[in-house]
Structures are given as structure tokens and as C-alpha cells.
Structure 1
Amino acid sequence: MAGDGRSPTGRCVVLFPFPSESHTTPMLQLAGLLRARGLGVTVLHADLNAPDPARHPGLAFVSIGESLPDEIASSPDLAERVMSLNAACEAPFQAALEDLVRRGEPVACTVVDGQWYRMLGAARRAGVPALALGADSAAAFLAMLAATRPRADGHAPVQEADRLDEVVPGLEPLRVRDLIGVDGSDDGDTVLRFTASVAGAVRGASLGVVLNTFDAIEGPELAGIRRELSRPVFAVGPLHLAGGPPVEPQQHVLDGGCLEWLDARPPRSVLYVSLGSAARVDRAAFEEMAWGLAGSGVPFLWALCPGSVGGDDDEPPFPEELHETVRRRGKVVAWSPQRAVLAHPAVGGFWTHGGWSSIMEAVCEGVPMLVHPWLADQTGSARCVTRRWGIGLEAGRVVERTAMARAIRRLMVGEHGPQAPRERARLLRMQARECVAEGGPASLAMDGLVEFILGL
């Protein structure tokens, strides 16, 4: 445990992040903002991928002590794994929450990640009001709600293959294929069961929703969620911008010289490449990516996590013919300080998997994107980047070296210059900063969230 979770207000909020980095990070950023506004914060957490309390002074950390069956780790289906995690953690979470209340902790409410749909019901049984934090986009959240309506109310045609390219009414510009899990590797029935479980729990057991987004990029989606739920929706993002500089984990202190390497490059000349920590690229796709980067003629910084290429436990070797090109024009590292990299003046584009945290970080630094979605909500996010905001290109799921080289050159240079998407990206950057400034929409939303919590 780090800190004692106490507060000047005499009230405490209990947070429960989902145990993956892309979900834990925004939850802990929210924790810091709540703490700064006078609330005590206790973070209940799973032992799986547990957060490091030393990085978050002032917060109290309590393990729920879950016991996970072996099949959770071995299941190849992402949605099935998440549902199994929910089943395994529901009772331990409820017991830990009840223990806090029994010990006299002044718990005002709990905020659980939206993936923890079973925890909303567990909190209600424990007698604790609950809110859900959506770590993904408002568009993804609205798509889950809309796709699980009864068909008579406009159920999206998620299982009809001949309608995959239809735009979904009320979710423009998303097509059916852009909805979570559709046209992907996950079993369609499993994904629909998962999204229905999330939507049902939010509708039935949450008092409100907190989202890491802002009106300038997702105003219509936020309005749609408010219509769907008829309860408070707090758009408090961009959380990473409001929360200040990150505290990096100890194992990431060494960044492989990323920033020094960028210092020697001209402004907006480097393509930053990172497909996230969850993507697993097969050997053939990896080599096509490498050849595409080489063929583009563009300098690149590639953050390539160990184990992210199929069949390799260590750093994957490049094809022999590419070693000299990589040495002269590119830099490959196992990890990079992504926020600092995106903020560096030498970075002119970002080849990303389309995870929401990565997109928000790029938006906040005004960096145009080449989006290469792999799973879950990433196809929808790619659609927003390209068709809604006009700040990038979509790479598509099939990796082919010639097409990738062409897309990279188009993003970084363009036939008539990349100024249109770059200018739009700069506008969004300015709007994001205005949003989190004192008196801005995100700041006011945080004030409203704290007032709502204290009123429970």
C-alpha cells in the first residue's frame, strides 16, 4: 500500500482499473486528478499486471487477491479472456469493497473500468454507488450501446456479412465493419455477448459514465451517449494532458537514446512507429513493414516490443539486406517514452495501431497518423482519424511493402504536401490544450464529477 488515501473532504473514491496498461494508465491519471481536487483515493487492483504503488504517492493500493484459472491465460479469444477475468474477479472485488466499508472508510463511490461489467453489479450488492470509466473512445462506447439495442429499436446489423460496408445510422462515419470485433479474428457471438454484457451493466447498474475524450473531437458521440443513458456523462479528457508529466516505470528509465537520436534530425522528418504492446505481428507482416519503411526513404524510429513478432522471444532480426538501411536511416528500440517522442519537433508522423491512448497522445501533439488497426475498437478509431477529423491515413489490415511505402511518403510528404492534415492536427492540438486549461471544458467536467461524487 502507498499513501493512506485520506482527503480534506473526508470522502474517498475507490477505483478499480482493468489489468492492462492501456486501461490502467487512464484510471490512475483520473486518480491523480481526483486526489488533486481533495478526494481520498483507494485503488483496488488485481494481482495480474498489478500497478506499482511507488509511482503514485498519495494513493492507497489494495489487492483483491484474485485466483485466476489457467485457461484465462491460454485462451486465444480476447473477448472470452475478458469475460473469464470478470467472472474470476467479481467476488474478490466485492469482498474487498465490503471490507473497506466495514472498516469505516468514507467511501463515496467506486469508479470501475468499463471492461469490468460484473463489478458494477458487485458494487451495487456491496451498497456502494458506481460509475464506469471508458478507456476507449466515446465512439466505441456509443457503438457498444447502439449495437446491443433490441432490433426493433435499431440494432446494428453486426452479423450480416453483406452489410459490412454500410454506414451505421447514428454512428457516422462508422461502418458495420468498424464496430468492435466485427470483421476481426474474434468469434462474432462471443464479442456480441461481451458488448451486450458491458452495455447492460452500464445501463442497469451505473450512476454515470466518465470518458477520456473531449467535445472538440467527439461532441456528437457524447451527445449520443447522453441520449442513450439519460444519466451524467463526464468528458474529462485528455486525461494525460490534464494530469501533467508522466512518471515512467523503473524498467523504462533507459529509452535507448530515442530523444538524442531525434535531436539530430530535421523538423517533422521522422516517422515514429509503434503498434502498441498487445499487437502480435507474424514474421511475414513484420518483414513487409520493414521493407515498406526502407522503400519509403523516410527516417523512422520504431518502438518494437520484445515478443511482438511471432516466433521471436528476443528482438527480431531484420532481413539481412535491411541491416544497412536501418543503421543509416532508422532506429529500432524495445521501448520509447511515447509522449516525449510525439512532442519532439523532429517527429512528423505516427504509424500507430489506433489504440485510444495513442491516438489521444498524437492528437494532443498535433501529429498526423498512419493508422494500422489490429483488433477491438481500433478500426473505428482509424475511421475517425481519416474520415471524421481528416488528420491521417488508414493503412488497412493487409501489409504489403509497396503500398506501405507509398502511404508513408503520402503521410510525410504528400503529392501536394501534407499541410491539410497537418493543419487540422495542429487545430486539434490547440483545442485539446484549451480543453484542459483552467475553466476549460475538461476542467469544468472534472469539477462537475467531484461535485457529483460528493453529493452521493
Structure 2
Amino acid sequence: MAEHVRKRWQLVLIVSPLQGHMTPILQLGTYLHSKGFSITIAHSKINPPNPSNHSDFMFFPMSDNLSRPGDFPSFVEFLQALGDNCKPHLQQHVIQMINTQKDTYVKESIIIIYDNLMSFARTVASELSLPSIIMHCSSAAFFPAYKIIPQLHLEGRFHVEAHFNNQPRRGSESIQNLFEDSLLQEIVPELHPFRYKDLPFANLPIQQALQSVSMITPNTAPSAFIYNTIEFLEPSALTEIHQQYQVPIFTVGPLHKIIPTPSTSFLEEDTSCIPWLNKQSPKSVIYVSLGSIATPDKLLLTQMACGLVNSNLPFLWVVRAGSVHGFKWIEFLPEGLVDETKKRGLIVEWAPQKEVLAHNSVGGFWSHCGRNSVLESVSEGVPMLCQPFSVDQLLNARYLSYEWKMGIEVVWKIGEIEGAIRRLMLGRESEELRQKAMEIREKIQVAIKHGGSSQSSLNDLVDFIIW
């Protein structure tokens, strides 16, 4: 009599080399492993995850023959080269996984879960007739917002394109001009509440923008979508995605609150800021960080320093080493300004952000509005000063300031910066922002509890994979 064939599931998670994208997928992998799934993490050799932090995972480094994203003229070209080099290695590895189980009594179902930036994984899954699930580490609103760009271009309504055709510069001054252009302040009728200036890829030449849209848009429906979001925060965007693809959508965020994991930071965290925070008054400190990728210029950061000093409030400011071209760290600041910052605040190269935002002394967060930063801030009820640069950060900032009413948009004039900081941290408006932020925090706490929408969505994802 033949032996009973046992069945198990092997999940192959393809992560991108970006900090903000890798972290939630590793968190998801941790959860799925706790439910009995075998996890293989396929990653490029650029910014690889640390296997010692995930001893239960198998890791497959895909040879990419690349050095770093900054060596390419555009991020689109980097992603294209990454896909061209990694795809054959991923395909070969998955074929080997399939062949290995043929002579065993364990029947494995192999499922591909991939970061939406790693779109070559979709092709591999299709060619091998394997189910694939897309993991979006951006907001759900990002999808309909970038999908509409080709239509707006064809109809002559992609006003960002016309703006940049008349702008010779691409630095912070040009971005600020973009934000002040009256035509771009208008709401895109199909995308309420988002304006033309909130659209993704707003700072790219039109052909790069269209190429970016094409690269990350699924040609065929995946088996499902996973979003690191909370259902109540983005109902209309989630409905639109479901109507277009008619496949399940699992809203499993915020993953960092549901699935605590070791730090996945690519940069060394300076924990010395925590004792400094311990000495500050409750809700008195503004925490400032523009994320792990943005490269603000000297002028912008100098204006930030002036605003922080003139606000006369305590601050914790993250300035990444080498983030300003030609300087090791903060030498670009005038000497007198550096002295003033030391009197009022603390500057570090990188901070343990989740711990900082959860600290009782932190009353506001000046942020680039990257997805992870937004989720970490709303989860702790910390109102935000919104300084977006590109991609989905613009949409996140609009959510915070207009829809969720727990954020303020930055206007780039020294007096305005100082005023925005004080509005965020002091007075009646600050109280209203903090109240809204706390209301959202309470709803998130309900969502991540047993029976809440996010926990239920995670359970549904497990059932979906099994059946």
C-alpha cells in the first residue's frame, strides 16, 4: 500500500533592497512561519537581510551583478537591471525546489509572494504555473494614483509634466515651486482627495514616469494582494483595487505592531538618544527624520536647522552621514548654527525610530512621510509635520493633513517653517491634531486585537494560502 503523501506549503518571499520595503515583508514572513509555513527569502546582494535575525528562514541570495541604486541614472533603470540579473537565478532556484520534491512523500505547494517593485517575480511565477501574491509596502492609494498617470498624460491633464517642462531646476527649490503652483493644487476629479501635485513620480520626466508605471503595474491579476495598511484608513482605494482585479485583498497592517521582530535597519541605530529623551518633558520634543533614502540638499537642511532653532523647542534630529553630497555629516551647517542646535536639541546619524515615537517625551514627528514612518507614527498617536519628496510620500502627506487631520504640510520659507513647528507642538491646533492622532491610534489598537480587521485579514490570508 502506498505511503500517505503529506502536504506542506513553501512560501518564497522576494524582497527588494529598499529598507522601507524589506522590513514589512520580513515581518510578514515571521507571522506566516509561526503558522507552519516554510519560508524562503529571495533577495539581491545589495542591502541583504541579516539571516541571524531570522534563523527559521531559508535565504537565497540572487546574483545581481550590481553595486548600488545610486550608480544608475534613474531608479527605473536600477530596477530594470535588478530584474534582468535576478530573474534567471530566481527561476533556476524555484525549478530546483520543484524538482527536489518529486521523489519524496511530501507534496509541497510553492507560492510566490513578492514586493511589487520586484515585478520579475511575477513572470517567474507565471512561467512555472505557480500562484503569486503581490505585497504592497506602500499605501493602497498609491495604486490608483499611479495607474491614472498614462490616462492623464494622453488627455493633456498631467499638469506636473507641464510644470517641470518649464522648470530648469530639480532640487528642493523646484519641488517647492511644484507645491505652490496653483494649477497643481486642484484635486484630480477621479482621485479625491488627492491633488495633481500629490501624484506619484511627480518629479520625474514624463517618459520615466510612464516607464515606472508600466514596470510596477500587473499585466494580469495576481492570486491576491497584500497591503500593509488598515482597512478603515483607505476604504475607497481598497474598493477601487478590488473592483478592477476581483481578487482578495488582505489588509494586514500595521505589521510592526502585530509582529515584533529584530531590527532590520541597514544603518546602525544610535540608542544614546533615549537617555536624552528621558530627561525631556512629556510631549515636548519634535522628532525629525527624512528617512533612509532622501538626499536633501544643503539649502533645505540649513533651512530646517534655522526653523528648529528659531522655534525654541527641544528636538531630536536625524541627519544621515553623507546624506548631503560633499560632506561627511553636518559640516555644511554654519558653525554658529551648529552651536545653537546643541543648546536646544540632539542630532544623531540614525535613531531607533519605533522606540523614539513610542517615547512619552515625543510630541510631534517631522517626516518625509514614507509608509513605514507614517504607520509607526499613527500607531503611537504622534501628529506629523509633512515633508514629502516623491512617490507615495506625497499621497501619505495628503492623507495626514487633509483626510486624517493629524498632520501639517511644510511650506519652505524660514518663518513658515518655524511657525509650522510651533503649530504642531503648541496651542489649540496642536491639541486638535493630537486628539485626531489619538483617535486613529485607538482604532488601530482595535484592528490589531483578536477579532479586529487586521488580525482577521491575517487569518484569512493563511486560509487563502492553504485552500
TM-score by length of 2: 0.88
Question: After alignment, is 238-247 or 171-180 more displaced?
Answer: 238-247
Q: Does 1:165 align with 2:185?
A: yes
- Structure 2: how far apart are the matches of 1:434 and 1:446? 14
Q: Render the CA deviation track for 1:328-372: whole Å, top value 9, x for unaligned.
A: 210011111000000001000000001011000000000000010
| Cα distance per residue 1:243-299 (max 9 Å; x no partner) | 1254366973642x1111011101100000000011112112111111111011111
Alignment RMSD (CA, Å): 2.3
8 Å contact kept, 1:211–1:234: yes
Letter in 2 for 1:54: S
2:229 counterpart residue number: 213
**Of 329, 332, 353, which aligns to 2:344?**
329
1:452 to 2:464 alignment: yes
**Equivalent residues of 1:121, 1:205 under 8 A apart:** no
Return closer, same or farther for 1:78/1:112 CA change in 2, 3 Å cut-off: same
Q: For the structure 1 residues 189 and 433, does the alpha-carbon distance in structure 2 shift closer, same or farther, using more than 3 Å as the test?
A: same
Q: Distance in 1 between matches of 2:374 and 2:441?
A: 12
The question of whether the paired residues in 2 share the 8 Å contact of 1:110 and 1:130 is answered with yes
Taking the aligned partners of 1:88 and 1:149, their CA distance within structure 2 comes to 31
* Change in 2 beyond 3 A, CA 1:9/1:263: farther
CA contact (8 A) 2:368 2:393 kept: yes
- 1:311 deviates by 1.6
| Partner-residue secondary structure (3-state), 2:185 | coil
Which residue of structure 1 aligns with residue 78 of structure 2?
Answer: 81
The one of 115, 122, 125 equivalent to 1:123 is 125
User: Conserved in 2, the CA contact under 8 Å of 1:16 and 1:113?
Assistant: yes
- Name the SS of the counterpart of 1:123 in structure 2: helix
Count of residues in correspondence between the two structures: 438
Q: Is 1:67 the counterpart of 2:65 in the alignment?
A: yes
Check the 8 A contact 1:296/1:405 in 2, yes or no.
yes
1:319 deviates by: 1.6
- The SS at the match of 1:138 is coil
Alignment of 1:6-405 (within 5 A): 10-68=8-66, 73-104=70-101, 106-148=108-150, 157=158, 161=162, 164-182=184-202, 184=203, 186-199=204-217, 202-204=218-220, 206-244=222-260, 246-247=262-263, 252=268, 254-255=270-271, 257-316=272-331, 318-396=333-411, 399-405=412-418
SS of equivalent to 1:11 = strand
Residue 3 of structure 1 aligns with which residue? none
> Which AA in structure 1 matches 2:317?
W
Deviation per residue, 1:116-167 (Å, 9 max, x gap)? 1222012111222111110100111222234356989x99746663753332
Counterpart secondary structure, 1:277: coil
Q: Is the 8 A contact 1:19 1:46 kept in 2?
A: yes
Asked if structure 2 preserves the Cα contact closer than 8 Å seen for 1:137 and 1:211, the reply is yes
How many percent of aligned residue pairs carry the same amino acid? 32
Amino acid at match of 1:374: F
Conserved in 2, the CA contact under 8 Å of 1:132 and 1:206? yes
Whichever residue aligns with residue 269 of structure 1, its letter is S
**C-alpha separation in 2, matches of 1:402 and 1:375:** 24
Q: Separation in 1 of the partners of 2:55 and 2:440?
A: 32
Contact 1:108–1:454 (CA<8 Å) still a contact in 2? no
* Alpha carbons 1:293, 1:405 under 8 Å: kept: yes
Using the TM superposition, give the Cα deviation of residue 53 of structure 1 relative to its aligned residue in structure 2, in angstroms.
Answer: 0.4
- Separation in structure 2 between the aligned mates of residue 106 and residue 140 of structure 1, nearest angstrom: 34
Secondary structure of the residue aligned to 2:442 is helix
1:169 shift after superposition = 2.8
**Distance in 1 (alpha carbons) for counterparts of 2:235 and 2:156:** 22
Structure 1 residues 82-91 or 339-348, which shifts more? 82-91
Alignment check: 8 A CA contact 2:267 2:350 kept = no
Range 133-142 or range 306-315, more displaced: 306-315
CA distance in 2, matches of 1:253, 1:292: 25
TM, length-normalised to structure 1: 0.90
Mapped partners of 1:279, 1:33: distance in 2: 30
1-side partners of 2:69 and 2:367: how far apart?
A: 27
Q: Which amino acid aligns with 1:95?
A: Q
**Residues 1:156 and 1:440: Cα distance change in structure 2 (over 3 Å):** farther
SS at match of 1:10: strand
Contact 1:55 1:249 in 2 (8 A): no
Aligned positions of 1:407-446 closer than 5 A: 407-414=420-427, 416-446=428-458
Give how far 1:309 is off: 1.8
- Aligned counterparts of 1:253 and 1:291: Cα–Cα separation in 2: 25
- What's the offset of the Cα at 1:86? 2.2
User: How big is the shift at 1:101?
Assistant: 1.8
Partners of 1:81 and 1:434 lie apart in 2 by 40
CA contact (8 A) 1:214 1:237 kept: yes
Aligned counterparts of 2:437 and 2:7: Cα–Cα separation in 1: 40
Assess, with a 3 A threshold, how the Cα gap between structure 1 residues 107 and 155 changes in structure 2: closer, same or farther: farther
Is the Cα–Cα contact under 8 Å of residues 309 and 316 in structure 1 kept in the other structure? no
Moved more, 228-237 or 105-114: 105-114
